[in-house]
Structure 1
Amino acid sequence: MKKLSLQKIFILNAGESFLHAQGKFNQEVTDTTIRHFTESDHNTVIHVTNINT
């Protein structure tokens, strides 16, 4: 299977605060996603929006 290279990743509403987690779950998913793609492919551009900041 051919490995696809993602060139741009958009993370919308990262860390949005809702329900009982108060945004901690979303922030953890965002941080893990950024860490994964920056460690594995240095050509990937990641844009993050966060409505809380």
Structure 2
Amino acid sequence: MSMTTAIDRAELQRVANLLPKSGAGWKFDFGNMVRRVLWDLDAAEEEARHHNERAKVK
């Protein structure tokens, strides 16, 4: 993971923690969007990790 990715992830997590997890309005919608981006980053990193493990086995 590059340093830029780590900083961006930390900032996204900080923003997500400041926004409400329930309710309505733009703050809630934006918080959900930020949390979805974090979830997608986690999923992509997990997939890359599995891909690298499969490549090592071959």
Shorter-chain TM-score bucket reads 0.3 to 0.5
Q: Which has the higher contact order (CA 8 A, sep 6+)?
A: 1
Q: TM-score, normalised by structure 1?
A: 0.48
> Quick check: which one's helix share is greater?
2
Q: TM-score, normalised by structure 2?
A: 0.45
Higher gyration radius (CA): 2
